[in-house]
Amino acid sequence: MCETNGLLSERDELLLLLDITRTLDKHVELRSSLGPLLSLLEMRTALVRGMVTLLDRASGLLKIEEAPGLTEEEKERGKYRMGEGLVGKVFETGIPIVVPDLSKENRFLNRAGGRKKEDLVGVAYYCVPIKTGNQVLGTLSAERRLPEGYSEHLLKADQKILESIAAIIADSAKLRERIQEEQYRLISLQGKNEIDETSLPLAQIQNYKQGQGSAIIGTSKGIRSVLEQVALVAPSDATVLITGESGTGKELVASEIHRQSKRASQTFIKVNCAALPESIIESELFGHEKGSFTGALNQRKGRFELANGGTIFLDEIGDLSPQIQVKLLRVLQEREIERVGGSQPIKVDVRLIAATNRNLEADIKTGRFREDLFYRLNVFPIHIPPLRERKSDIILLADFFAEKYAQKNGKLIKRISSPALDLLSSYHWPGNVRELENCIERAVILSTDNVIHSYHLPPSLQSAQSTQTEPTTTLEAALSRLEKELIIEALKITGGNMAAAARRLGITERQMGLRVHHYAIPWKLYRATNM
């Protein structure tokens, strides 16, 4: 947040730079990260109308790559030659430009249009180069309406934060360029069967083989802790118990453990224990022999057999019946199963990952869950914090879901408006990530101007301010109205009997009389209607 003088505190500045770095890290393409980056800049500072231009090598022109609020047509008009206007000058020289009053700057081209000169009075303009070494890749610009009595220190502080962000963008662009070159080299070597895994980092080898990185999105302390635990336990065969509220992403964490494990090339079987009726869950998990029960026309392998050599994920394991808990305990102890109706044990080599949103330790005390099974499952516990405890992840997740559902619905979503981001950040999210995903999907469908606005979000997220429904009365007036309503209701019930009404309300007859007189309540009217 900005301090009263318009400046960021040192702590807030560092947090902004950290979140911008994480935003860039979460996007494969640099261009797709620029929208969320500029939204962060606007939300955390008073710097608005952020714009990134990058050099188009084919035409030799600077093009607007991202500028929240501009249409595609306006962006298309925003092209600059070397040395042309403020943007072109910064690109040509590699030197930042700061303009304290944009209305007095003749070099400002206003290519996007739609802005009158009087609108620019008192607006400071900043443009800094995005460069690596001596190579300029593009520019980053933003504006601020200066407060009355501003100091030169404010202008220098704004320039400094933009230069820091531009340096991060440049480093990210250079890193992506090197990764792309390495990918081309790997593809070339793959055709010749010459990949030398000893010359590459382990993480790069895994990502190359498996085709993608982690699907877990978040940079908060809680999610970083989860990812660290996943990285530690994944290479082993230890049983993992994932706990957390519904909708926090337990299945995603289980998938990530399997993806990073030595069983990654084998089967990953998912079973939702709460979704299966108790009458068939034993057959689903362990299989059955032909004729073992009515309807068992053929032999059938269970999920444990199908997962042999790989990983099985048992979601909502706290909902298993005591009988199935006993059989599952044997699987963990003996590493073997018996099909329903069978007599021969079958050895299985399966890694078990379980998850629950229940408090299993409390269930042990009530006899709902077996203590010995709990200790078998709880070899390596991982707890996923609820979304309300990792607010810094909300913007990243919202951006990810906006891209996902925009693509799914054939729409273009350029940004999420600042009021919408404020609502998303302030909501308590009882349904966690799943609820956030549903909200963004709905908003994408409702959007008609390539922007997700606050009014696209469900009513449960809306604030009094955003819907113009702030309280229009004082607390004292509201309490008086409530008191009068209660007295009238008591008089109606007692047929206008003041003494009986007073007893119902827990007050004395004198207090009742004073209140009836104060509110001018026609108590005799209620007596008359009940006679």
- Tens digits of residue pLDDT in 109-155: 776 666 777 778 888 999 999 988 778 888 999 998 888 777 788 88
> What is the model's pLDDT at position 199?
37
- Distance between CA atoms of residues 150 and 476, nearest Å: 42
Residues 6+ apart with CB under 8 A from 369: 318, 325, 358, 360, 363
* Bridge-based pairing state of the strands 336-337 and 346-347: antiparallel
- Distance between CA atoms of residues 215 and 37, nearest Å: 20
Would you say 91 and 66 are in contact if contact means Cβ atoms under 8 Å apart? Answer: no
- Distance between CA atoms of residues 461 and 400, nearest Å: 19
> What is the model's pLDDT at position 415?
85
- Distance between CA atoms of residues 456 and 451, nearest Å: 10
Give the CA angle between residues 491, 492, 497 to the nearest 5°: 40
- Distance between CA atoms of residues 401 and 113, nearest Å: 32
Give the CA angle between residues 423, 429, 432 to the nearest 5°: 130
- Distance between CA atoms of residues 491 and 446, nearest Å: 50
> What is the model's pLDDT at position 367?
92
Using CA of residue 229, residue 234, residue 238, residue 241, what is the dihedral sign?
Answer: positive
Which of the residues in the chain have pLDDT under 70? 1-6, 26-29, 58, 111-114, 175-214, 294-296, 462-473, 527-531
> What is the model's pLDDT at position 442?
93
Q: For residue 496, give both structure tokens.
A: 């206008």
Would you say 384 and 243 are in contact if contact means Cβ atoms under 8 Å apart? Answer: yes
> What is the model's pLDDT at position 96?
93
Which residue has tokens 């230890």?
238
**127 phi, psi to nearest 5 deg:** -140, 125
Beta strands in 111-260 (DSSP E): 123-132, 135-145, 240-243
> What is the model's pLDDT at position 179?
56
The string of DSSP codes covering 170-193 is: HHHHHHHHHHHHHHHHHHHHHHHT
Confirm whether pTM is higher than 0.75.
Answer: no
